[in-house]
């Protein structure tokens, strides 16, 4: 009778983590406060020493941020979650809390541009090196392992080419040498894919994307087992890339509609991908939900849908790709994704513009490639906008 009910993900998305104050508010409260007061000197001391649980200062914990962390942890099936100021802060906090000089990372070549830069430009200054693996074949990852490999890092599906990585196979490979598998779950979110269930050790989120879903705030999170997340928390609490309570509140409310948004946006993406594939002006479409995608079978096993990101190559080069962008009247020309408003990006000159041309070529990001992050508009209208310049 006293056992806690086990709720399904739809229920957790709107209920998990809510802590009501003395006022009994129905909606989650926004606690805009930098610090907290104590009843006595003794209580202050007990809070600081950790003898008594409770909030001290919002760089450490804040009730609104805690509600967001608990809700996201529930959705990911994680023991713990720590929120960060952005997705990149989540990656940086993970690297700096778990690695030391002399350690080695194996990362997929096809990852977010700033993540690539973090691994190749920033971490080497602290003695942490990275081997990049081209393609998604698990054997290539095994071949890149070194005795000092501590972390294997992938994004699946990847940005912008929607390459799909076999999470269960990569977890086994990482664990063979005692390394951790870290999965950036930005593109799928827990509404479509739960990496921890497949053997991953940690999940990275850019909450800026689908978790908020309406392009309002920056945020990030790291989810996983208690022990690892506690290490990340200790770093973050001291170093300071904490999520603001306001942003946490916005994203917390965003989680309530995450699943229906992901389902609707995925359905729109599949429809658009089919239409683009049938269009003679389109050279190639990259979408995991299409049977033509090289890892379609794996994607359908690992994810609930193909996701909401469609990439495609126009016939021609940069001029032809830019013409499609410049002819649009509705789609938002922006580097962001994960919004209910459809966004259109030319990765080679924006998100992936700062990585070396060689690395870009190795990742398969050509000048003719465009990325559409499908929102909630009618697919007819999205297609019509793209057709103006195609
Ligand atoms: C945007 C993004 C990030 C970085 O997140 P920010 O919130 O912008 O710092 C990391 N990974 C992926 C896959 C992203 O799309």
Q: Supply the DSSP string of 212-255, one letter for each residue.
A: T-SS----EEEEE-HHHHHHHHHHHHHH--PPPHHHHHHHHHHH
282 forms bridges with which residues in the sheet? 314
Residue range of the domain that includes 74: 9-255
Do 91 and 118 meet the contact criterion of CB atoms below 8 Å apart?
A: yes
Mean pLDDT of 173-202: 97
Instruction: Using most ligand atoms within 8 A of CB, pick from 89, 94, 114, 117 the residue to mutate for ligand 1.
Output: 114
Determine whether 42 is exposed, middle or buried from the number of CB atoms within 10 Å of its CB (0-12, 13-18, 19+).
Answer: exposed
Mean pLDDT of 257-267: 97
Determine whether 386 is exposed, middle or buried from the number of CB atoms within 10 Å of its CB (0-12, 13-18, 19+).
Answer: buried
For residues 202 and 310, membership in a common domain is answered with no
| Whole-number average pLDDT of the chain | 95
- How many domains are there within the chain? 2
Centre of ligand 1 to C-alpha 227, Å, is 24
Q: Is the CB of 253 under 6 A from ligand 1?
A: no
For residues 241 and 340, membership in a common domain is answered with no
Mean pLDDT of 358-381: 92
For residues 242 and 197, membership in a common domain is answered with yes
Residue 3 lies in a domain: no
Strands of the sheet containing 282-286, edge to edge, are: 282-286, 309-314, 369-373, 343-345, 332-333
Residue 217 lies in a domain: yes
Final residue before a domain boundary, out of 221, 255, 289: 255
Mean pLDDT of 113-132: 95
Report CA 236 to chain centroid distance, whole Å: 18
Q: Is the pLDDT of residue 95 over 60?
A: yes
Q: Is the pLDDT of residue 51 over 90?
A: yes
* Residue 316: count of CB within 10 angstroms of its CB: 15
pLDDT at 2: 64
Q: Is the pLDDT of residue 1 over 60?
A: no
Q: Is the CB of 84 under 6 A from ligand 1?
A: no
Mean pLDDT of 110-136: 94
State whether residue 180 is helix, strand or coil.
Answer: strand
For residues 306 and 349, membership in a common domain is answered with yes
For residues 117 and 227, membership in a common domain is answered with yes
Residue 190 lies in a domain: yes
Of 24-38, 53-67, 159-173, 342-356, which gets the smallest average pLDDT? 342-356
Centre of ligand 1 to C-alpha 220, Å, is 8
pLDDT at 187: 95
pLDDT at 301: 97
Higher pLDDT, 353 or 280: 280
Final residue before a domain boundary, out of 208, 234, 255: 255
Residue 90 lies in a domain: yes
Q: Is the pLDDT of residue 34 over 80?
A: yes
């Amino acid at each position: 009778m006293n056992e806690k009910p086990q709720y399904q993900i739809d229920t957790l998305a709107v209920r998990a983590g809510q802590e009501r104050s003395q006022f009994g508010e129905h909606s989650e409260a926004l606690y805009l406060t930098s610090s907290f007061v104590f009843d006595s000197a003794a209580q202050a001391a007990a809070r600081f020493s950790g003898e008594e649980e409770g909030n001290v200062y919002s760089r450490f914990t804040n009730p609104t941020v805690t509600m967001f962390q608990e809700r996201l942890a529930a959705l990911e099936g994680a023991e713990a979650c720590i929120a960060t100021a952005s997705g990149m802060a989540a990656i940086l906090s993970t690297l700096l809390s778990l690695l030391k000089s002399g350690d080695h990372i194996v990362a997929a070549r096809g990852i977010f541009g700033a993540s690539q830069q973090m691994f190749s430009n920033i971490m080497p200054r602290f003695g942490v090196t990275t081997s990049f693996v081209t393609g998604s074949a698990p054997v290539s990852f095994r071949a890149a392992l070194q005795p000092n490999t501590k972390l294997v890092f992938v994004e699946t599906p990847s940005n912008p080419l929607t390459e799909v990585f076999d999470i269960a196979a990569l977890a086994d490979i990482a664990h063979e040498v005692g390394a951790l598998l870290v999965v950036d779950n930005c593109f799928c979110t827990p509404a479509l894919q739960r990496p921890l269930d497949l053997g991953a050790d940690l999940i990275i989120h850019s909450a800026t994307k689908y978790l908020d879903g309406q392009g309002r705030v920056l945020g990030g999170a790291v989810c996983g087992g208690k022990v690892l997340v506690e290490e990340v928390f200790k770093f973050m609490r001291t170093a300071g890339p904490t999520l603001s309570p306001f942003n946490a509140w916005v994203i917390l409310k965003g989680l309530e509609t995450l699943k229906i948004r992901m389902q609707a946006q995925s359905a729109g993406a599949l429809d658009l991908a089919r239409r683009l594939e049938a269009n003679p002006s389109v050279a190639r479409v990259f979408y995991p939900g299409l049977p033509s995608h090289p890892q379609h079978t794996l994607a359908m096993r690992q994810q609930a849908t193909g996701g909401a990101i469609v990439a495609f190559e126009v016939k021609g080069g940069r001029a032809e790709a830019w013409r499609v962008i410049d002819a649009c009247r509705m789609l938002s020309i922006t580097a962001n994704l994960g919004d209910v408003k459809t966004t259109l990006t030319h990765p080679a000159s924006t998100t992936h513009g700062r990585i070396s041309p060689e690395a870009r070529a190795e990742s398969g990001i050509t000048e003719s490639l465009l990325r559409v992050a499908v929102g909630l508009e009618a697919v007819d209208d999205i297609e019509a906008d793209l057709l103006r310049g195609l």
